[in-house]
Amino acid sequence: MGTYSFSDAALADLDEICASMSEINPGLAIRFFEKVRDKCRQFAQFPNMGKTYS
């Protein structure tokens, strides 16, 4: 299984996005964060997934 990590800048951006979203809808912010994390795990596990543009 592959691994992934976020840069400090990416974490700061994600935190800011989720904080803004949570002011309006906390549940949405949680779901958004979980979706981002799930997609990162998926890309780490299957790095060649997706459409190839040639």
- Tens digit of each residue's pLDDT (9 = 90 or more) over 1-52: 688 899 999 999 999 999 999 999 999 999 999 999 999 999 999 988 878 8
Length of the chain: 54
Q: Which residue has the tokens 């997934």?
A: 49
* Residue 17 CB coordination number (10 Å): 14
Residue 1, pLDDT score: 64
Residue 42, pLDDT score: 92
User: For the whole prediction, is pTM greater than 0.85?
Assistant: no
Residue 4, pLDDT score: 87
HSE toward the beta carbon, residue 41, CA cutoff 13 A: 6
Residue 2, pLDDT score: 80
